[in-house]
Amino acid sequence: MAASSELRLDHLPSDPLLHVLSYLSFRDLVHCSYASKRLNELSKHNPLWKRHCCKHWLLTDADRLQRGLSWYGLFKHYYSDLGRYIQYYVVLKKAWEKLKSFLQQRCPRMIVSLKDGATEGELDDIEAQIRCKLPDDYRCSYRIHNGQKLVIPGLMGSMSLSNHYRSEVLLDVETAAGGFQHRKGMRRSLPLTFCFHTGLSQYVALEDAEGRKKGESFYPCPDQTAQDPSAIDMFITGSCFLDWFSTYVNNVVTGEYPIIKDQIFRYTHEKGCVATTGDITVSVSTSFLPELSSVHPPHFFFTYRIRIEMSRSASPDAACQLDSRYWKITTSDGNVEEVQGPGVVGEFPVMTPGKVHEYASCTTFSTPSEFMEGHYTFHRLANKEEVFHVAIPRFHMVCPPYREPESRTQKASTSHTTPNDNDGEDDDDDHDRGRFGGLRGINISALEGSRCPKFT
């Protein structure tokens, strides 16, 4: 009796079965195809695979027509080529497409500099050359675009001060392999970026070694207090290539990183870091410069960009001129310093309705985080006796996480403050602090003077 009432799969109508199959992952769908002849036929239903082609490979009807394959065939084709990257492909492909779309009108030279994707064979040859495995997320991205040509501006961001400039190129894998590190302190590290002007590179660790974790991206920083020249500190920039690249792209396409003169500048704007006083608004963005910083001795270099804007709706009588600035600087160890002086970086901007004035300056600290706040003093053009203050919002400067070498033959310096190098005399910097005395051997050939760089 029970056998005669048994419900056989072959007797079920197709529509409810296809509906059930539509909820399955592509792997489960393949497994079902081995269960029975009926499921084998249904599991190849084209609409089922269209969903997976769109989800995992971002394919469109136009892609299918161009290939002349069914959706099932198209999925098999892409999986046979890119299947090992299926957990990374969509995120990285979307990141690349967003980045290219954003830069097409804003930085067209960068788009032209992008190289076509590398093949699986080419990436395998690189692994054989360096005798080390490349991370799958790195390989996946390089299948989409093999970095960029060695041109300026670099895809991975720029920074410009009056006598210091850098622009980081995203290296193609062949060039990166030429810089693969075997030396003590940097073993099993592959360069990701390169700057012609500073020699600056970001690296990715291909294996757990010397305190680095596999997949981490970082800027190397020699420990200048150690007797062993292979003692390398690291400013960590990402936990894996996917994190490193997708975070950077998000900062670009959301406008977090501004486009200035056809280049991406890696300034970050702290949310809420805006202050309005009357008709004038001040906002601040900051950037950490690893090539001018060190962990041992503690010397952390920051640049900041300030935007001063007068409302378009302001009365013409509100026109004014900046006379001086005042800073209150607080380091993470609790030290407070107050600095004041005339103008900003040697300028005394006049503000009129709708006028925007932007400038950049920089500072160094012996602590890895600190904040600044203060005010500008203005006078009205129509009445020089009318003097007033405009608030500068508090903004924080925080260096990336850093890691010290596993062993150090000499203890780091215990210095806590950056000495004043001009006995209280004012200069073009926004405050009078020590300049580059602690930057021994860290890419300072362009920084021979004792004055803090000004933005150009």
- Residue ranges covered by each domain of the chain: 9-84, 89-245, 267-403
Confidence of residue 446 (pLDDT cuts 50, 70, 90): very low
Reported pTM: 0.83
pLDDT value at 365 more than 50: yes
Domains 9-84 and 89-245 fall in the same CATH topology? no
CATH topology of domain 9-84: Monooxygenase (1.20.1280)
* CA–CA gap between residue 212 and residue 227 (Å, rounded): 21
Tokens of 9: 């799969």
Q: Which CATH architecture has domain 267-403?
A: Sandwich (2.60)
pLDDT, tens digit (0-9, with 9 covering 90-100), for 232-253: 999 999 999 999 999 999 999 9
- CA atoms within 13 Å, Cβ hemisphere of 313: 3
CATH topology of domain 89-245: SMI1/KNR4-like (3.40.1580)
What is the DSSP track for 365-411?
ESSSEEEEEEEEEEEESS-TT-EEEEEEEEEEEEPPPEE--S--SSP
Q: What's the pLDDT score for residue 211?
A: 87
pLDDT, tens digit (0-9, with 9 covering 90-100), for 168-216: 999 999 999 999 999 999 999 999 999 999 999 999 999 999 989 999 9
Q: What residues pair up with 148 in beta bridges, in sequence order?
A: 114
Q: Which residues contact 28 (CB under 8 A, 6 or more apart)?
A: none
How deeply is 206 buried, as exposed, middle or buried, from its count of CB atoms within 10 A (0-12, 13-18, 19+)?
buried
CA distances from 152 to 107, 115, 452 (A): 11, 14, 25
